[in-house]
Amino acid sequence: MNFDFTEEQLMIQQTAREFAESEIAPSAVERDKNGEFPKEIVKKLGELGFMGMMVSPEWDGAGLDTVSYVLAMIEISKVDASVGVIMSVNNSLVCFGIEKYGSDYIKNKYLRPLAKGEKLGAFALSEPEAGSDATQQHTLAHKNGSKWVINGIKNWITNGTTADYFLVMAQTDREKAHHGITTFLVEKGTPGFAHGIKEDKLGIRSSDTSSLTFENCEVPEENIIWEVGKGFNFAMETLNGGRIGIAAQAVGIAEASLEAAKKYSKERKAFGTQIANHQAIQFKLADMALKVEAAKLLTLQAAALKDAGKKFVKEAAMAKLFASQIAVECALEAIQIHGGYGYVREYLVERFLRDAKITEIYEGTSEIQRIIIARELLKD
């Protein structure tokens, strides 16, 4: 597999790096501290074409490949993983699913503004009793004339208080279990639809997360994505691609941890020399570099397979599992290398650890990734 990037891919990477350093970095610490959503940054990402990177130009997207998306996600997440996850959800979970399974009506009305970054999307699958076991949907929808009426609660929804459009999975036929789940596109402001308070989180604090409530919320039939009963399939297919985005986010956090640790080790002196000259520190840096490179290659492999139209479910799960683990490990090592300074907000590495942990949980926990990998392996 060839990872000699094209000129276009390298340009996307450089653009993302420069944008992250000039537009995102200056406010990252304060936004994390205050839990402030990066509204203007998201708007500018949309103007760059980064909110609909893989959407066809036919629907006002950038028409780029998944490898370009991964390179951009890494650079954005190196500076602020909160911005990274906002970008990832809109690209991987919302735009992808609508473009692949939505009707032309849905694409014209909703995908175009999402791809241009004029509107923001959210993916509503998790519930109080349906986390890793997504088949246990308790949110219900029943037909009433030409409309569907939704009742239920969704939990842990990224962009929950700020999104304009929500992809909502609901049970439409209990007797069919997960074959009776349907996906609806619900607009913010629809009567009977509301969000809860923003969660006060350990990490990715500049990204908003909230619950959603539906009380006799009426949605027109034309807002069904794919078809009735295909909601679970839709969610699983979409999450397969979404894991590449989260893997890239984790790689970005790990790279940032390595760079911060390397920089500090050249500045800090102990026992009469820079700590970078001590073998104990050199071994830590070497192990971090090895893990980062391996995680990046796994992520790029999954992206390249997706671009080639080949099976990538196992590879995406592997990338997400390994990258999320090394994000946590590298952040911990960066703190250790910084010593006491790594434990305080003034130095960025404590935020890297707080941001890294969620990558082992959302869009499929590490335990779920192992199940997926084993299941795919045993198909052969």
Q: Which is nearest to 295 in space by CA: 258, 254, 331, 354?
A: 254
User: Distance between CA 145 and CA 77 in Å, rounded?
Assistant: 46
| Coil, helix or strand at residue 354 | helix
- The span from the first CA to the last CA of the chain, in angstroms, equals 22
Other CB atoms within 10 A of residue 52 CB: 31
Residue 248 one-letter amino acid: A
Helix (H, G, I), strand (E, B) or coil at 165: strand
**Contact present, 251 and 327 (Cβ < 8 Å):** yes
Q: Is 251 exposed, middle or buried (0-12, 13-18, 19+ CB in 10 A)?
A: buried
Residue 62 DSSP symbol: -
Q: Is 367 designated active site?
A: no
The structure tokens listed for 164 are: 């304009």
Q: What is the CA radius of gyration of the chain?
A: 21
Q: Which of 36, 46, 123, 56 is nearest to 87 (CA)?
A: 46
Torsion of CA 128, 99, 48, 90, to 10 degrees: 0
Burial per residue of 202-234, b for 16 or more beta-carbon CB atoms within 10 angstroms, e otherwise: ebbbbbbbbbbbbeebbbeeebbbbebebbbbb
Of 21, 363, 367, 376, the active-site residue reads 363
Any idea what DSSP says for residue 157? E
Residues annotated catalytic, as ranges: 363
